[in-house]
Amino acid sequence: MTDSQRQAEIAALKRMAEGHRKMIESMLVDNGALMTLIEVSEALNYHRQLDESERRKPQMKVLKQQ
C-alpha cells in the first residue's frame, strides 16, 4: 500500500464515520450502522497507531514512498 492509497483509505473511512455518526444523531439508526461506525473507528485507530509507530521508528515504515 502506498502512502497516497493509505491517505485515500483514511479519507474514505472518515467520510463513512461522519455519515454513520449523522444517522445515529438523527436516530435513524439500527445496530448495523452502529457496528459499522465501531469498525470504522477501529480502522482509524489502527492507522493512527501506525502513524505514531512510524514517527517513533522511521526505519519500521510500512508504506512505500512514491
Number of structural domains (the chain) is: 1
Q: In the beta sheet, which residues pair with residue 2?
A: 64
Does this model's pTM top 0.85? My answer is no
Contact 21, 51 (CB under 8 A): no
The pLDDT, as a whole number, for residue 19 is 87
Range of the domain at 50: 3-58
- Whether 65 is in a domain gets the answer no
- Whether 27 is in a domain gets the answer yes
Model pLDDT for residues 22-66, shown as the tens digit of each residue: 877 776 656 777 778 889 899 999 999 988 888 888 777 766 555
**How wide is the angle at C-alpha 52 spanned by C-alphas 62 and 40, nearest 5°?**
80
Model pLDDT for residues 4-25, shown as the tens digit of each residue: 999 999 999 999 988 888 877 7
- Whether 64 is in a domain gets the answer no
- Whether 63 is in a domain gets the answer no
Give the position of cell 485507530. 45
- Whether 54 is in a domain gets the answer yes
Give the amino acid at 30: D
With residue 36 as reference, give the H or E element that holds it: helix 31-56
